Amino acid sequence: MSEPILLSLDVESLDLEGQGIAHHEGKVVFIEGALPGERVLARVTRRKPSYDKAKVERVLRPSAQRTRPPCPHFGVCGGCAMQHLEPAAQMAVKQRALEDALAHIGKVRPRQILPALQGPASGYRHRARLSVRLVPKKGGMLVGFRERASSYVADMQSCLVLPPHVSALLMPLRNLIGGLSRPDRVPQIEVAVGDEATVFCLRHLEPLTPADLDRLRAFGARHRIDWWLQPKGPETAHPLDPARADALAYALPAYGLRMHYRPTDFTQVNPHINQALVARALSLLDVQPGDRVADLFCGLGNFSLPLATQGRAVVGIEGSAALVARAREDAARQGLADKASFAELNLFEVDAGWLRGLGHFDRMLIDPPREGALAVAQALADLAPDERPRRVVYVSCNPATLARDAGVLHHVGGWTLAAAGAVNMFPHTAHVESIAVFEP
């Protein structure tokens, strides 16, 4: 076996995976566990023609912002990447990542930097996918997140970012799943925590026996958990107790709304930040009572229904038929069906002609997945000045695709990037959520 390659490196910055960035003999080195401003002794773990990967062996000169990770599993579990960096510094890194992406990818700078949106740094994760594996060498069942850069499941007894009552069930879940008839055929548990209910959606590759169902019911009663079962794809998920099918919901109290959802539906992971994000988006849009508003990639109506309480009419458009149906149901349930309409459409294939066909919108909100909204950006850039919304708010979960789309809007369409700022939806991770405002 060859001797490990050890390098003494000065760390310059962080990448979007939370890795330190340094240079050695003209080559970029990405260093797991290193922070900007530090000098570290790093062990090279992978060599590529254009870059190397490394891991900190010893910190020779620590950053003043380095802190003791609060979770004992940090460094092994892949759920978090930045617990060794103070929370305020994490936010600064994310804001810089957003600004760098806009400048380098989009070649555009915001007129105003918005204050960062922050919330609790622990117990915030109300949505999670827990992997389940039978590993006899580690004592039986493992339930938790994957190890960092690995397909193995981390041996976790607790989790800092899960709500405390869910974290406390990681070990009991091991015993429960280990006692099922086919524990080796249970690959994951989807966790969804609502305001008044916690749902565990069990993915099972073999039919469950009556004894299995009895064990699940007993566990649910003891720990106040609602079980859903998913034998195949997400569309097959169903409640073990049909009477509890509508138990999951979260409130948006500023608008008098209660949003209902299923455990397999997309909802924001962090309810504290979600409320703040909805409030900021609506404030930035500045919807007037007579305005007609478009909400693209609307999902369940997380922004659409609050918007319907302020404007004349809202049109929500989404690619998922299931989410469109859910949004319509909630609009009717909350007395907003006359102001909020929803349609299913693939928004990755639209153009300016399609936008014109919808009629004029005074305001527009865009909240795409990580792939961004390139087709929408190109369509907006192609609209004539008198056809354009007066303001567009773009909520992003990927600064690279936001920057790309901002570049199209600005350089092709002449739109102004009026403001942008980071949102700490996922504390302790390298995930960068952000919000941007465009004006024609």
- Burial environment of residue 213 by CB neighbours within 10 A (0 to 12, 13 to 18, 19 or more): middle
3-state DSSP call for residue 435?
strand
Catalytic residue selected from 22, 180, 300, 397: 397
Bridge partners of residue 341, in order along the sequence: 315
For the annotated binding site, the residues are: 71, 77, 80, 159, 268, 297, 302, 318, 346, 367
Q: Residue 94 in contact with residue 42, Cβ under 8 Å?
A: no
Nearby residues of 280 by Cβ (< 8 Å), 6 or more positions away: 114, 117, 435
For the annotated binding site for [4Fe-4S] cluster, the residues are: 71, 77, 80, 159
Q: Among this protein's residues, is 298 annotated catalytic?
A: no
Q: Residue 423 in contact with residue 116, Cβ under 8 Å?
A: yes
The CA-atom distances, in angstroms, between 435 and each of 15, 239, 404 are 20, 35, 14
C-beta pairs of 221-226 under 8 Å, 24+ apart in sequence = 223/165, 223/169, 223/172, 224/198, 225/169, 225/198, 225/199, 225/200, 226/197, 226/198, 226/199, 226/200
For the annotated binding site for S-adenosyl-L-methionine, the residues are: 268, 297, 302, 318, 346, 367
Q: What is the chain's length? A: 440
- Which amino acid would we find at residue 34? A
> Which residue, 419, 426, 438, is CA-closest to 78?
426
Residue in this structure with the two tokens 């299931």, named with its chain if needed: 322
Q: How far apart are CA 192 and CA 189, in angstroms?
A: 10
Q: How far apart are CA 417 and CA 403, in angstroms?
A: 10
**List of E strands, 194-312:** 198-203, 226-230, 238-239, 249-252, 257-260, 292-296
3-state DSSP call for residue 171?
helix
Q: Indicate which residues carry an active-site annotation.
A: 397
